Structures are given as structure tokens and as C-alpha cells.
Amino acid sequence: MNRKRYDKWAAPKFWRLRSFYVYLIIFIAGIFGWIYFDRVGASARWQTIGAFLVFVSVYRGVFFHWMHADKTFRLTRQKYFNEKDWACKVILRDKDISLHINGKLNNRVEWSEIKKLEEAKTYFKLSSSDGVEGVMVDKSCFTEGDSDSFKQWMKETHPEIEQVRIAPAFDK
């Protein structure tokens, strides 16, 4: 796992998030307030409120998700992998999915725990019932078959798992 791949999977496209438009409205209100209070000669406190709204909206609307993904990636590298990138291998079997990190078995996920197969442009996300956790499978890294044959295998073998497109903000 490297920083570029992690960004593709974990950091959304900020302009496709619903919350982006809320922060866009706050940004416009902040700019308007900042300029308006400056023109009418209001106290610096009122101008500061406008500036504060602008900076908060830019931080939360644009940079927050990317910075959160960056922090998570750096802390994971630091805590588990001695400041190095790590290799993750996913083995899909009939009974379960096994995850191997740097050649060692890390986790097993039963098919009964998987509720949804979400498809993005470059990866699949096999999501658990809470929708937060899941197994990520890179479409370009299959050693047997390809992404289309995997999708067909999922339809035939696990019809109980819902197949959908991933949220637009994460479709990279």
C-alpha cells in the first residue's frame, strides 16, 4: 500500500460530497460578510467573523478529508510498518477472504459478513453490514482472471451480496 493508492481509496473528491455545497454556501456568506463589513466600516470583530467563515469553509469543505486520510496513512505506517509502505494480498476463497500483509496472515473475513460489493473505476470494495469497514480489491492486480470475471463469479457464487456503484465521491 502506498500513499497514492490509499488516497484513491480513502480520500473522496471533495466537490462530489454533499457537505461541500453546505461549505460553499458558508464560504459565499463569509466572503460577502467580510467585504460588506469592511465597506460599511464595521468593527474589526465583524470583519473577523466573515474571514473566519471563509477559512473554516475552505478547511472543512476542501482540505479536511484529504488531511484525515493522510494522517491515517502516516499513523498506520508508523505504528505497524516501521515508516514503510506495506504490501497487502487478498485471497478470495469459497469459504472466506484472507488478508495477508507483508506475507503474513492478518485477517480472515467470512462471506456472511460481506453485505455489499461496491464497484469504482479502479477497485472493488466488499463492505460489511455497517458500510464503514470492508475489503478493498484492486481491479488491476488479479493474479487469476480479471475484474469482469470476478464480478461474474460474485453474481453466481454470492447472489445474496448486493452489487452497486460506489458513492461518486470515491469513484476514482
**pLDDT (tens digit, 9 = 90+) per residue, 63-86?**
998 898 899 899 988 888 888 888
Mean pLDDT of 95-119: 89
Mean pLDDT of the chain: 89
In the predicted model, is pLDDT for residue 133 greater than 80? no
Cα(130)–Cα(123) distance, integer angstroms = 20
Q: What is the 3-state secondary structure (H, E, C) of the chain?
A: CCHHHHHHHHCCCHHHCHHHHHHHHHHHHHHHHHHHHHHCCCCHHHHHHHHHHHHHHHHHHHHHHHHHHHHHHHHHHHHHCCCCCCCEEEEECCCEEEEEECCEEEEEEEHHHEEEEEECCCEEEEEECCCCCEEEEEHHHCCCCCHHHHHHHHHHHCCCCEEEECCHHHCC
The whole-model pTM stands at 0.71
What pLDDT, in 10s, does the model give residues 20-68?
999 999 999 999 999 999 899 888 899 899 999 999 999 999 999 889 8
Q: Kindly list the domain boundaries of the chain, sorted by start residue.
A: 3-80, 88-170
Domain 88-170 has CATH 2.30.29: yes
In the predicted model, is pLDDT for residue 13 greater than 80? yes
